Amino acid sequence: MKIKDWVYPEATEIDTARDLRIIREYLPRNKNIRILDAGGGTGRISIPLAKMGYRIVLLDISRTALNFAREEAKRAEVLDRIEFVEGDVCNLQFESNSFDFVISLRDVVSYSHEPKKAAKELIRVLKPDCYLIASVSNRVFWLTKVERWNYEFEKIKSMLTTKRMFTEVELRELFDELKIEKVVGSGYCSGNIPLRQLDENFFRLENFIGEDPELKYSCEYLVLIGRKHE
Ligand SMILES: C[S@@+](CC[C@H](N)C(=O)[O-])C[C@H]1O[C@@H](n2cnc3c(N)ncnc32)[C@H](O)[C@@H]1O
């Protein structure tokens, strides 16, 4: 099945392993919790979580992505653990304080029409004292990729103001209602190294760079980990 790039980015095994490692650190051990994967796309994260025994609500605005995710979940034999919901992250149809864990990875917030509203909605549906993990494109990373913008001045300048990517400070402002525990990096390898060269040697490097307080800015994504006030 072929679907648009923005629905199905080229997430590598290394990206997914990195994101799952970040998530696992904060994921409650109790499997009887309610998890929201907002803008969960094709189930890149929902399916591995369901395989671990969790129940997930996978919400996405794209029916194509949801259909793809449903097929993948069937293949992975976890269809009964994932609820598929078509919806907009800026206007979630869930009650306030109803999820024990909320994730929204890889540009869902930035691609929604109102990032601040999306952030507020994600926080609204999260239960007090529970964790939210969200990742967005790293503006600093993209500003260094001048070759990808054909060295064109206007394109590079637009990077400074686009709402589709964030610096760490901007990301923290977006989620300032949370107690932010940290911001780490993800996607160093896939952002910098040709896919054909990405072998398992890079797994440790990805985590090392992503966790470093300064080296993390060389990663394609910034990942915010925060907890809702009690
Ligand atoms: C780059 S993909 C990331 C998918 C998934 N979170 C992951 O990490 O693999 C971005 C996803 O955001 C979804 N999306 C964009 N705007 C949205 C909105 N307003 N509400 C819900 N989902 C949205 C897209 O359909 C797409 O599946």
Looking at the predicted structure, is the pLDDT value of residue 4 above 70? no
- The pLDDT tens digits for 113-172 are 899 999 999 999 999 999 999 999 999 999 999 988 899 999 999 999 998 999 999 999
Give 111 Cα–ligand 1 centroid separation in angstroms: 7
* pLDDT at residue 3 in the model: 47
Domain ranges, ordered by start, for the chain: 13-228
Report the predicted TM-score, pTM, of the whole model to 2 decimal places: 0.95
Q: State both tokens at 9.
A: 């980015």
Greater pLDDT, 126 or 199: 126
User: Confidence class of residue 1 from pLDDT cuts 50, 70 and 90?
Assistant: very low
Domain 13-228 homologous superfamily, CATH: Vaccinia Virus protein VP39 (3.40.50.150)
Q: State both tokens at 168.
A: 């760490």
| Rounded Cα–Cα distance for residues 130 and 128 (Å) | 5
Task: Judge if the beta carbon of residue 107 lies within 6 A of ligand 1.
Answer: yes
Backbone angles phi, psi at 186, to 5 degrees: -150, 145
Percentage, residues of the chain above pLDDT 90: 87
* pLDDT at residue 5 in the model: 45
| Rounded Cα–Cα distance for residues 226 and 181 (Å) | 5
* pLDDT at residue 8 in the model: 53
* pLDDT at residue 22 in the model: 98
Mutate to test the pocket of ligand 1, among 47, 49, 60 (most ligand atoms within 8 A of CB): 60
* pLDDT at residue 149 in the model: 87
